[in-house]
Amino acid sequence: MFIRASSTAAYRCAAVCLRGIEPFTQPGRCAQTHTKEDSLVMVLQEKRVLIVEDDEGSASLLAEIAGRAGFIPAIAVNGRDALEQFLKNPFALVVTDISMPEMDGGALIDSLTGGEYEPVVIVVTGHAEPSMIIDIMRRGVFDYLVKPVDVNDFSMKLARGYEISRLRRVQRSVERERTARVEKELDWYKWSERLANRESSIVDKSLFHSLHTSFNQGAGFGALLTLLSMIASNAKEENGRYLLDAQMMNLINDNVAVAANILKTFADIDWMLSHDLALESVAYDRLYDLVTETTHSMSREASVREQGMLLSERKPGLVHRSVKIDAGYLQKALAEILMNACKFSERAYPIYVLVEAVDANMLVSVVSRPFADEQGRLGIPLGYENIVFEPFYRMTKAVFEGYTSLDYGLGLSVVDKIMVKHGGKASISNILDYSDLTQEPITKVLASLVLPLQ
Find the mean pLDDT for residues 256-279. 81
Q: Which amino acid is at 265?
A: T
Residue 134 pLDDT greater than 50, yes or no: yes
Q: Are 93 and 102 a contacting pair, CB within 8 Å?
A: no
Q: What is the pLDDT of residues 285-294, one digit of tens each?
A: 999 999 999 9
Percent of the chain with pLDDT over 90: 42
E strand or H helix that includes residue 448: strand 442-452
Q: Tell me what pLDDT residue 24 has.
A: 31
pLDDT, tens digit (0-9, with 9 covering 90-100), for 207-219: 454 445 444 444 3
Residues 426-441 have pLDDT tens digits of 999 998 887 665 678 8
List own/partner pairs for 62-67 with CB under 8 A and 24 or more apart.
Answer: 62/95, 62/124, 62/149, 62/154, 65/21, 65/149, 65/151, 65/154, 65/155, 66/95, 66/154, 66/155, 66/158
User: Is the pLDDT confidence value at 93 over 80?
Assistant: yes
- Of 11-20, 38-47, 169-178, the range with the lowest mean pLDDT is 11-20
CB < 8 Å & 24+ apart, contacts of 54-58 = 54/78, 54/97, 54/100, 54/101, 55/97, 58/97, 58/124, 58/147
SS3 144: strand
* pLDDT attached to residue 41: 38
What percentage of residues in the chain have a pLDDT greater than 70?
Answer: 75
pTM of the model: 0.65
pLDDT exceeds 90 at position 97: yes
pLDDT digits (tens, 9 = 90+) for 299-341: 999 999 999 999 999 998 999 999 999 999 999 999 999 999 9
Judge contact between 404 and 301, C-beta under 8 A.
yes
Give residue-wise pLDDT tens across range 19-78: 222 333 333 333 333 333 333 333 444 689 999 999 999 999 999 999 999 999 999 999
Query: Residue 257: pLDDT above 90?
Result: no
Q: Strands, DSSP E only, in 18-107?
A: 48-52, 72-76, 93-97
Residue that wins the pLDDT comparison between 184 and 161? 161
Task: Give the side-chain half-sphere CA count within 13 A for 406.
Answer: 18
- The mean pLDDT value for 84-97 works out to 93
